[in-house]
Amino acid sequence: MSPRNVERDQQMREIRKDHILDAALQAMAKRGIDSVGIKDIASEAQLSIGNVYNYFNSKDEILSEVLSRGQIEYGKMITSYSILDIDPRDKLTEICTIWLKTSINWAFTIMLESIRTNETVNPEIREAATRRFTENLKPIAVIMQQGQTANVIIKGDTMQLALYFVSLIQGLTLQMAPGYEIPIQIEPENIIRLFLSTSER
């Protein structure tokens, strides 16, 4: 097989894996982690069970990859904003806007919190999810510190402020689940205003 064909086959394999992971995320968010098996994931992906097993060995492996993929991609995104030379308020607004506009984030939020609180889930997966969640607070805390230095963000422990910010936008994401949307417009600027120093409100 030529190198070009090998590369193309690898790309197709990654595309198919991503498709299965997206389907697993949807299935677990809709039905609950305990209720979903490989059969349900295959059905959501419109693939045979055998086809799913060509890419993943178990439900736990799928669960672990869905989580790590989402958390790592999110971590890279917020880290890139933390090092930009722009107003910290604009950084928070952009992060908030991107999070709320990403259509699949409601499902990811449900799955993440379900895994972290479900004692039947593999402890290693739960611990890894919590560890990555905590690590991903740090770039937000850096932005909060930048805002405090510029006297535009309220005083306080920056990791606490980061947790409040992330918890708020995740909670709002849950109100946007398809078919159950709350008919109220969410304005990122109004969310950021909650974290502004008194002189900036």
CATH at 143: 1.10.357.10
Each residue's pLDDT tens digit in the chain (201 positions)? 566 677 888 888 899 999 999 999 889 888 888 888 999 999 999 999 999 999 999 999 999 999 999 999 999 999 999 999 999 999 999 999 999 998 888 888 888 888 888 888 889 989 999 999 999 999 999 999 999 999 999 999 999 999 999 999 999 998 988 888 888 999 999 999 999 998 766
Q: How many whole angstroms separate alpha carbon 151 and alpha carbon 82?
A: 17
Q: Which of 57, 76, 104 is the last residue of a domain?
A: 57
User: Is 70 in the same domain as 50?
Assistant: no
Same domain, 52 and 71: no
- Position 4 scores a pLDDT of 66
3-state secondary structure of 36: coil
Q: Please give the pLDDT value at position 176.
A: 85
The Cα 194–Cα 154 span in angstroms is: 9
pLDDT of residue 114: 85
Determine the pLDDT at residue 195.
97
Contact 80, 91 (CB under 8 A): no
CATH for 45:
1.10.10.60
pLDDT of residue 132: 95
* Domain-terminating residue out of 57, 75, 97: 57
Cα angle, residue 67 at apex, residues 7 and 32 outer, rounded to 5°: 125
83 and 53 fall within a common domain: no
Specify the residue for token string 């992330």: 166
Range of the domain at 112: 66-200
